[in-house]
Structure 1
Amino acid sequence: MPVPLRARPGGRLPPRTADALVACVVLVVVAIWTLVSGRYASEPALRTVLGWALVLIGCGSLYFRRRQPVAVAVVTLLACVVYYPLSAQDGPLMIAFALALYTTAAEGRFAAAVALAAVTLLAVGLGEIRQQPGHRQIDDTSLAMLAGWLISLVAVGRAQRTRLAYLHEVEQRALAAEREQEARARQSATEERLRIARELHDILGHSVSLINVQSGAALHRLSKNPAPEAGLATAAEALEAVKSTSKDALRELRATLGVLRRADEATPTSPASGLALLGDLTERARSAGLDVRTSITGTPVPLPPPVDLAAYRIVQESLTNVTRHAGARTVRITLVWDAEPDVASDDSDDLDDSAALDTATRTRAGTRVLRLRIADDGGGAPEGGPAGSGIQGMAERARALGGELTARNTDDGFLVDARLPLTAPTAPTTPAPEGDPR
Structure 2
Amino acid sequence: MSTSPPHGAVRAHWPRPSAWPVWVVPLLVLAVEFFGTMAAQHGASRDRTWNRGDGWGHGPGWGDGSHTYGTTHLDALGFAIVLAGPALLLLRRRYPVPTLAATGLLTGLYFLRAYPYGPAFAAVGVAMLGAIVAGHRLVAWAGTAVSVAVYFGITALIGVPFGERGTPGRPFPVEEPSVGGVSVVVGWSLAVLVTAELVRMTGQRAAERARTRAEEERRQASEERLRMARELHDVLAHNISMINVQAGVALHLMDGDPEQARTALAAIKEASKEALTEMRSVIGALRAQGETAPRSPTAGLGRLDDLLDRARSAGLAVDAEITGKRRPLPAGADLAAFRIVQESLTNVTRHAGPGPVTVRVRIAYREREIEVRVEDDGRGASLLDDHPGGSGIRGMRERAAALGGTFDAGPRAGGGFAVRAALPLNGEPEDDADGDGATGTTGAGEGTPAERGGR
TM-score w.r.t. structure 2 length? Answer: 0.56
Give the root-mean-square deviation of aligned CA atoms: 4.9
Partner residue of 1:375 out of 373, 379, 385: 379
Counterpart check, 1:209 vs 2:248: yes
Q: Quote the residue 1:84 is aligned against.
A: 111
Secondary structure of the 1:419 match is: strand
Partner residue of 1:164 out of 191, 200, 203: 203
Q: Quote the residue 1:102 is aligned against.
A: 129
Change (3 A) 1:248 1:73: closer
Is the Cα–Cα contact under 8 Å of residues 26 and 96 in structure 1 kept in the other structure? no
Q: Quote the residue 2:348 is aligned against.
A: 315
Aligned-pair distance for 1:105? 2.5
Q: Quote the residue 1:419 is aligned against.
A: 418
Change (3 A) 1:132 1:19: closer
Distance in structure 2 (CA, Å) of the matches to 1:240 and 1:273: 23
Aligned-pair distance for 1:421? 1.0
Q: Quote the residue 1:430 is aligned against.
A: none
Q: Quote the residue 2:327 is aligned against.
A: none
1:16 aligned partner, one-letter code: V
Aligned-pair distance for 1:165? 2.0
Distance in structure 2 (CA, Å) of the matches to 1:21 and 1:164: 23
Is the Cα–Cα contact under 8 Å of residues 318 and 416 in structure 1 kept in the other structure? no
Q: Quote the residue 2:94 is aligned against.
A: 67
2:132 aligned partner, one-letter code: A
2:208 aligned partner, one-letter code: E
Alignment of structure 1 residues 340-379 onto 2, 5 Å:
371-375=375-379
Partner residue of 1:241 out of 253, 260, 279: 260
Distance in structure 1 (CA, Å) of the matches to 2:190 and 2:14: 35
1:204 aligned partner, one-letter code: I
> Identity across aligned pairs (percent)?
14
Secondary structure of the 2:236 match is: helix
Count matched residues. 333
Q: Quote the residue 1:24 is aligned against.
A: 30
Partner residue of 1:151 out of 184, 190, 199: 190
Unaligned 5+ residue runs, structure 1? 1-7, 219-237, 284-293, 323-330, 339-366, 381-385, 408-414, 428-438
Is the Cα–Cα contact under 8 Å of residues 239 and 272 in structure 2 kept in the other structure? yes
Distance in structure 2 (CA, Å) of the matches to 1:268 and 1:258: 17
Is the Cα–Cα contact under 8 Å of residues 69 and 100 in structure 1 kept in the other structure? yes
Rg comparison, structure with higher value: 1
Q: Quote the residue 1:355 is aligned against.
A: none
* Deviations 1:214-270, CA, capped at 9 Å, x for gaps: 225x2xxxxxxxxxxxxxxxxxxx134324444555666777788868635254534
1:205 aligned partner, one-letter code: N
Counterpart check, 1:142 vs 2:172: no
Distance in structure 2 (CA, Å) of the matches to 1:164 and 1:121: 28
Q: Quote the residue 1:114 is aligned against.
A: 141
Q: Name which of structure 1's ranges 140-149 and 79-88 shifts more when overlaid on structure 2.
A: 79-88
Greater RCO structure (CA 8 Å; 6+ sep): 2
Distance in structure 1 (CA, Å) of the matches to 2:230 and 2:133: 48
Q: Quote the residue 2:315 is aligned against.
A: 281
TM-score w.r.t. structure 1 length? Answer: 0.58
Distance in structure 2 (CA, Å) of the matches to 1:214 and 1:194: 30
Partner residue of 1:36 out of 30, 36, 42: 42
1:106 aligned partner, one-letter code: V
